[in-house]
Amino acid sequence: MSNIATIEINGKKYELPIVLGSENEIAIDISKFRDLSGAITIDPGFKNTGACYSDITFLDGEKGILRYRGYSIEELAEKADFLEVCYLLIFGELPTYSQLEKFHNDIREQSIIAEDMKKILDGFPQSAHPMGVLSSLTSALIAFNPSSVNVTSEEAIYKAIVKILGKFPVLVAWTHRKHQGLPLEYGDEDLGYVENIAKMMFKKPNKEYKVNPVVVNALDKLLILHADHEQNCSTSTVRIVGSSHAGLFASLSAGISALWGPLHGGANQAVIEMLEAIKEDGGDTKKYMAKAKDKEDPFRLMGFGHRVYKNFDPRAKIIKKAADEVLMSLGINDPVLEIAKGLEKEALEDPYFVERKLYPNVDFYSGIIYRSLGIPTNMFTVMFALGRLPGWIAQWREMRLRKEPIGRPRQIYTGHTLRPFVSVDKR
Ligand code: SDX
């Protein structure tokens, strides 16, 4: 295969290098194209445009493949735990036992939040959406941890990373408990990373907390499945904010806001709201399928479709299986799961969805498990953010250590050409 692409504009030919990824993905390097030709390329939504080279996550949308640092999502979900996956994504290798111990100890030492942060949390109405609270608290952390802002050395970046890995689960748990009107909880030195997340979120103020392995294992698996997904909307946000050399916490706060949107991470909340509406409507899935296909109707089948996956999202398969297992072991019969399965079956046989290669994505079944764990619907996207934290960190660290340039896309201007000012008395 030639390693040169040729573009011809007005009879003049321009040669551009072709680059190959380690999985033989092909790209045309247009980094010198405007200098050469005066032209730019344009691609709203970046459907055909790569923003960076990355060693972190590989996904093949046609084949439904997802790997973190070369390890398949299926193996990691089955055999690893979330803290191991955090280490793998951020530093590139699965940790030895001693590396994992040191990493966890460094994180434990940072798992305390400045007491004044509670005053900020108190300032929110109990009805505030948890994603807005979490984004604000993450940004507020900067004020209490100024040394985490101007980080350039690998050591300073490491310190900022263990700080946010220690504090973010506490912020997530406190956001949840504020919304529930419950007193705030801390973790225990002798519990595991995800055990502490469960304890801080679910401990009843009047009862000793007992670790429930079913809940912890389900949470651990869901967090692994959400941990990274290459250059999705929120990760691209974290990278571009970080490319201005804004600090890690400020970049993460921006990523949380991007994830909140119902077309992205907010879809897991929208899926349950949709399934509940169908249940209230007597389980009339055909009506909602018709709405999803009606171009005049803004309704979309939430949890279906994906920018990259034109096959099953491998995470959706794993979560669907886990949903059955978790509900069975918790002795829960959730009619919404049966509605979801019915909707999936119908959509996979419907030409509209088949022609557009619309399959269930990570958000389609995840809410059913979160709900079975007692997590309220508007906290689902916060759980997504908790899972995606190591991926955001890994991508931000890669961008900063590689000293990548500030992100600044071009545009094609389509507004007015030059025109003279008209004073108000003449308008
Ligand atoms: C996540 O990027 C990532 O990796 C994201 C993520 C991650 O881990 O970070 O995987 C997490 O965000 C998963 C996606 C969650 N969002 C939803 O479930 C919301 C519902 N899905 C859609 O809004 C949509 O599928 C997107 C936003 C996910 C993808 O949209 P695209 O790639 O811009 O595709 P498109 O809107 O151009 O759709 C192509 C066609 C259109 O029809 P036509 O104009 O060709 O006739 O498919 C239709 C769309 O109308 N379509 C849908 C649909 N999704 C696409 N029709 C009905 N229901 C849907 N869900």
- The pLDDT value recorded for residue 2 is 82
Q: What is the DSSP letter of 282?
A: T
> Could you read off the pLDDT of 339-371 as tens digits, one per residue?
999 999 999 999 999 999 999 999 999 999 999
Mean pLDDT within 178-187: 95
- The pLDDT value recorded for residue 262 is 94
Closest atom of ligand 1 relative to the 259 alpha carbon: 12
Which residues, at least 6 apart from 257, have a Cβ–Cβ distance to it below 8 Å? 131, 135, 237
Q: Which of 30-34, 134-138, 190-194, 333-337 has the lowest mean pLDDT?
A: 333-337
Backbone angles phi, psi at 234, to 5 degrees: -70, -35
Catalytic residues: 306, 363
Report long-range pairs for 410-417 (Cβ below 8 Å, ≥24 apart): 410/34, 410/40, 411/42, 412/40, 412/42
Distance, CA of 120 to CA of 384 (rounded, Å): 23
Whether 264 shows a pLDDT value over 90: the answer reads yes
Looking at ligand 1, which residue's alpha carbon is closest to its atom 23?
Answer: 263
- The encoded tokens of residue 183 equal 């007193």
Whether 1 shows a pLDDT value over 90: the answer reads no
- Among 131, 300, 353, 355, name the best residue to mutate to test ligand 1's pocket (greatest count of ligand atoms within 8 A of Cβ): 300
Taking the centre of ligand 1 as the mean of its atom positions, its distance from the CA of residue 301, in whole angstroms, is 9
Looking at ligand 1, which residue's alpha carbon is closest to its atom 32?
Answer: 307
Which residues, at least 6 apart from 327, have a Cβ–Cβ distance to it below 8 Å? 333, 334, 337, 368, 372
DSSP 190-245: TS-HHHHHHHHHH--TTS-----HHHHHHHHHHHHHTS--SS-HHHHHHHHHHTTT
- Binning pLDDT at 50, 70 and 90, where does residue 390 land? very high
Taking the centre of ligand 1 as the mean of its atom positions, its distance from the CA of residue 306, in whole angstroms, is 5
Mean pLDDT within 43-67: 97
- The pLDDT value recorded for residue 90 is 98
Q: What is the CA radius of gyration of the chain?
A: 23
Is the Cβ–Cβ distance between 70 and 56 less than 8 Å?
no
Provide residues with CB under 6 Å of ligand 1: 45, 229, 232, 263-265, 267, 292, 300-308, 356, 358, 361-363
Looking at ligand 1, which residue's alpha carbon is closest to its atom 31?
Answer: 307
Which residues, at least 6 apart from 405, have a Cβ–Cβ distance to it below 8 Å? 243
> Could you read off the pLDDT of 14-48 as tens digits, one per residue?
999 999 999 999 999 999 999 999 999 999 999 99
Is the Cβ–Cβ distance between 238 and 245 less than 8 Å?
no
Q: For residue 179, with 0-12 CB atoms within 10 Å meaning exposed, 13-18 middle and 19 or more buried, which class applies?
A: buried
